[in-house]
Amino acid sequence: MRAIPAFDLRRQYATIQPEIDAAVREVLHSGWFILGRQCERLEEAFAHYCGVPHAVAVASGTDALHLALRALGIGPGDEVIVPAMTAVPTANAVTAAGATPIFADVERDTCTLDPARLEQKLTPRTRAIIPVHLYGHPADLDPILDLAGRRGLAVVEDCAQAHGTTHRGRPVGSLGTVGCFSFYPTKNLGAYGDGGMVVTGDAGLAHRLRQLRHHGQEGTYHHTIVGFNSRLDEIQAAILRVKLGHLDAWIEARRRLASRYVEGLGGLAPRLGLPVERPWARHSYHLFVVRAQGRERLRAWLAERHVETGIHYPAAVHQQPAYRSKAWPDGSLPESEAAGREVLSLPLFPELEEGEVDAVCEAIRGFFTAEDAESAEKGDM
């Protein structure tokens, strides 16, 4: 059996190489590499894609969150609600702004922020909520937005894994106060380096974000606020403009492959938990994440059969050394902690072949067959 990678950017590049090479050459010949026309055109196209009037390109997805919080005036003494099951950079952005992340538990079936557990986390210091559209499935935004509206809180959507995801027919990022995207290479829309974007319907916020990303400038060498260096370069912007034109087709490919996984693995429930798609959601399948109590044994079995897998993520954020606190003892956020023990990301990217999906499914079925045989043998002893 040939190796099946969890992700392979080389395959994608091979399908669009002439477009990418031409876009990069255009930038090289222009002689302009920072905050130029490529960046402007990407911002215009991405704003249109998300159905919002403003998009501000920045250097990374983490910067997108950090600068969004800064633009909202959130800082020391403030608290921001963050799901405990997410990438650590979600919490790092809050800390970088000087605020305090307050961890909340997630729903078991989607691993997104649980609205039922949210209100109990609010205090007079709460200023914002960051729902994370994890793995490509949207968080349940209606009750979150309702609570935020009643309490006067900002909603900062973390869309790092959710390019092309929709919530009740609307693109994620367009429903909250701001939406923050990552263009890390493995994302649904990925650069060949780091990059990020903030989208918003608020012109004032967009203006402040443009200042913050460029050293607080209001015109050349006129600095009206303290800012940062967080600029998306022209080469990455040109690459992302090319890729944006393919994004919808790539998401459809992801959805087809996900359906094939579901068909091939459906008979293994409840021992193998499969992703869900809520009736109001359109999952973009940034990752195809299954759950198994014997996760490490399954992963080792697949590795022996040359199937590469990932774990997103092996520990909830409050269990990471950087964020461990008496306020968050083990057992305090049980769904997030269980997810860290059980989640396993199977190979999934638009260029993955259907036969490779079938081979992964066959290997997983073989694992459970072997587990059953071992259990039966032990029972006979």
Q: For position 374, what pLDDT does the model report? A: 82
Q: For position 1, what pLDDT does the model report? A: 65
C-beta separation of 35 from 58 below 8 A: no
Judge whether residue 68 has pLDDT over 50: yes
Residue 22 has a CB neighbour count (10 Å cut-off) of 11
pTM value surpassing 0.95: yes
Interval 117-138: pLDDT, tens: 999 999 999 999 999 999 999 9
How is the chain split into domains, by residue range? 9-105+112-244, 247-380
Q: For position 174, what pLDDT does the model report? A: 98
Q: For position 205, what pLDDT does the model report? A: 98
User: pLDDT-derived band of residue 378, with 50, 70 and 90 as boundaries?
Assistant: confident
> Is the CATH code 3.90.1170.20 the one for domain 9-105+112-244?
no
Cα–Cα distance, 90 to 99 (Å, whole number): 12
User: pLDDT-derived band of residue 66, with 50, 70 and 90 as boundaries?
Assistant: very high
* Mean predicted lDDT score pLDDT of the chain: 97
**Packing angle, helices 9-30 and 234-244, rounded to 10:** 130
**What's the CATH class of domain 247-380?**
alpha beta
Q: Give the residue from 125, 166, 159 showing the smallest Cα distance to 280.
A: 166
* 249, containing H or E segment: helix 247-265
Cα–Cα distance, 159 to 313 (Å, whole number): 17
Q: For position 247, what pLDDT does the model report? A: 98
269 or 145: which leads in pLDDT: 145
Q: For position 188, what pLDDT does the model report? A: 98
Cα–Cα distance, 202 to 301 (Å, whole number): 50
Judge whether residue 377 has pLDDT over 50: yes
Rounded percentage of the chain residues whose pLDDT exceeds 90: 96
User: pLDDT-derived band of residue 375, with 50, 70 and 90 as boundaries?
Assistant: confident
Judge whether residue 381 has pLDDT over 70: no
Rounded to an integer, the average pLDDT of 101-113 is 98
Q: For position 163, what pLDDT does the model report? A: 98
Cα–Cα distance, 153 to 10 (Å, whole number): 43
- Phi, then psi, of 90 in degrees rounded to 5: -60, -45
Q: Give the residue from 7, 22, 14, 9 showing the smallest Cα distance to 241.
A: 22
Q: Give the residue from 35, 37, 82, 67 showing the smallest Cα distance to 199.
A: 67
Angle at 278 between CA 240 and CA 258, to 5 degrees: 55
C-beta separation of 104 from 113 below 8 A: yes
Which are the contacts of 26, defined by CB distance < 8 A and separation ≥ 6?
Answer: 38, 238
Rounded to an integer, the average pLDDT of 98-124 is 97
Which has the minimum average pLDDT: 37-51, 155-169, 308-322, 361-375?
A: 361-375
User: pLDDT-derived band of residue 292, with 50, 70 and 90 as boundaries?
Assistant: very high
Judge whether residue 48 has pLDDT over 60: yes
Rounded to an integer, the average pLDDT of 315-335 is 96
